[in-house]
Amino acid sequence: MSDATNISHDREASFGDYFALLKPRVMSLVVFTAMVGLLVAPVAVHPMVGFAAILFIAVGAGASGALNMWWDADIDAVMRRTRLRPVPAGRVAPDEALQIGLALSGFSVVMLALATNLFAAGLLAFTIFFYAVIYSMWLKRWTPQNIVIGGAAGAFPPMIGWAAATGGVAIESILMFALIFMWTPPHFWALALFMRSDYDDAGVPMLTVTHGRKATRAHILAYTALLVPVSMGLAFTSIGGPAYLAVALVCNAWFLKGAIAIWRRDEVQAEADNFRVEKEVFRFSLLYLFAHFGALLVDATLRMTGWI
């Protein structure tokens, strides 16, 4: 780099900044769901191979996170929630984020292919492409349905985990995909309702801006209603069990109740109690997903120990 002298030393990137480029918080969800997908699959995987598979899926997710930060640096700089990210804060150069993203993408796909199989690696490659190109570059700034279609990128990990174990696709892995896919819109729209100004300032077409907040409330209810049959359907596949069924019943009842409450409220009510219900539903939606995948793991353990 010829202009190295222009870099101010106090803003130089630490190792943590490069790690932050990989969106570790998103990665934790990817690791968890991919691990469940791999462990509930009917094919036993050597623990070391399973560990490596999840590691490389996580690296692939991190790579797409770095590509997203490279492309979205202009949006991130405007939004309060994201303006301290390494690229908008000036600690990591945009080119560096791009290079790290591309290098880790190739690395993770090749390594997953070597550790498991080509099908799982292909699925990972498609996921990275889907998140970085289709979602970040194309849909995010173009349509308010960005959340719906972009949610597919976050929904792939359990399918990749399942593919790493079995080498293919099954109704169970498709339903795990559908569960995250249908869950993402109500989860993010609940967030968009109380994080109002951010997306407006950045010019990202959020449903709250393009179709109004009333329409967003209706959309949350509609997608939650569509989520329920997917969640319940998974209970009656080979990977469902008593723990999953119980968790799904309770969580869906609660989530649906919250979605109806959001739908019934208007802006005056919401502002009066500082978006209490919206915040509650958002927080619960996180628990909803973790509880579902956690329950799948419990049922897999019960099956393995011969309890059911």
- CB nearer another protein, residue 49 or residue 133: 49
- CB nearer another protein, residue 64 or residue 108: 108
Enter the DSSP assignment of 6: G
Q: Least distance in Å: CB of 14 to another protein?
A: 5
Separation CA 175–CA 281 (nearest Å):
23
Q: Least distance in Å: CB of 48 to another protein?
A: 4
Phi, psi of 169 (to 5 degrees): -120, 150
- CB nearer another protein, residue 47 or residue 306: 47
Q: What tokens does 149 get?
A: 């279609």
- CB nearer another protein, residue 12 or residue 266: 12
Q: Least distance in Å: CB of 2 to another protein?
A: 17
- CB nearer another protein, residue 79 or residue 100: 100
CB 56 within 8 A of CB 113: no
Q: Least distance in Å: CB of 104 to another protein?
A: 11
CB 98 within 8 A of CB 115: no
> Directed axis angle between helix 146-166 and helix 118-129, to 10°?
170
Q: What is the largest CA-CA distance in the chain?
A: 66
- CB nearer another protein, residue 17 or residue 267: 17
Q: Least distance in Å: CB of 47 to another protein?
A: 8
CB 108 within 8 A of CB 170: no
Q: Interface with another protein by CB under 8 A: which residues?
A: 9, 12-16, 18-19, 46-49, 51-52, 55, 114-115
Alpha helices in the chain (DSSP H): 15-20, 24-40, 47-71, 73-78, 94-115, 118-129, 146-166, 171-194, 196-202, 207-210, 212-234, 242-264, 267-272, 276-304
Q: Least distance in Å: CB of 115 to another protein?
A: 6
- CB nearer another protein, residue 11 or residue 257: 11
Q: Least distance in Å: CB of 44 to another protein?
A: 10
Q: Least distance in Å: CB of 7 to another protein?
A: 11
- CB nearer another protein, residue 52 or residue 248: 52
CB 5 within 8 A of CB 128: no
Burial class (CB in 10 A: 0-12, 13-18, 19+), 6: exposed
Enter the DSSP assignment of 205: -
